[in-house]
């Protein structure tokens, strides 16, 4: 419940800010991808400015996420190695336990008479 309240406390103002940014920057802007001939219609896109802002924001988030994921690869590898090692040792412990139970079953029953 607390996480939901905190998320709403962050997301609602963020949404309001993004809507205000969209309304304030709705002027059409041309993005020319040809540096030698900016008037080239084939390599230019005309959209409202907030579309470019949101596209840059989303692209930055994607690039940051990929960089973080790649950077944390060594930690994921450590977890995989430790997990496989834990499974190996658990299997060995189960095998030894089964072996001990078999040996205990093969031993003669203890004498119930007291040695007094």
pLDDT by residue, tens only, the chain of 116 residues: 889 999 899 989 998 998 998 898 889 999 888 888 888 888 899 999 999 999 999 999 999 999 999 999 999 999 999 999 999 999 999 999 999 999 988 888 777 766 55
Position 87 in a domain: yes
Q: What is the pTM of this model?
A: 0.63
Domain tally, the chain: 1
**Predicted local distance difference test score (pLDDT) of residue 22:** 87
Contacts of 38 (CB under 8 A, 6+ apart): 32, 44
* Residue 95: inside a domain: yes
Residue 93 included in any domain: yes
Helical ranges in the chain per DSSP H: 2-24, 49-71, 73-106
Q: What is the pLDDT of residue 38?
A: 81
Q: Does residue 78 sit within a domain?
A: yes
How does 75-87 read in b/e, with b if 16+ C-beta sit within 10 Å?
A: eeeeeeeeeeeee
Q: Is 63 left (phi over 0), alpha (psi -120 to 50) or beta?
A: alpha
Q: How much is the pLDDT for 21? A: 87
Name residue, tokens 């607390």.
Answer: 2
Sign of the Cα pseudo-torsion (49, 52, 57, 60, in order): negative
Instruction: Give the domain range for residue 30.
Output: 2-100
Instruction: Tell me whether residue 63 is in a domain.
Output: yes
């Amino acid at each position: 419940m607390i996480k939901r309240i905190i998320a709403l406390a962050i997301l609602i103002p963020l949404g309001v800010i993004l809507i205000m940014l969209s309304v304030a920057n709705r002027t059409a802007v041309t993005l020319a991808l040809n540096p030698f001939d900016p008037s080239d219609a084939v390599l230019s896109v005309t959209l409202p400015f907030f579309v470019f802002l949101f596209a840059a924001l989303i692209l930055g988030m994607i690039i940051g996420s990929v960089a973080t994921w790649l950077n944390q690869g060594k930690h994921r590898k450590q977890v995989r190695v430790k997990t496989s090692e834990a499974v190996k040792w658990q299997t060995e412990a189960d095998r030894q336990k089964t072996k001990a139970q078999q040996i205990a079953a093969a031993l003669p029953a203890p004498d119930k008479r007291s040695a007094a």
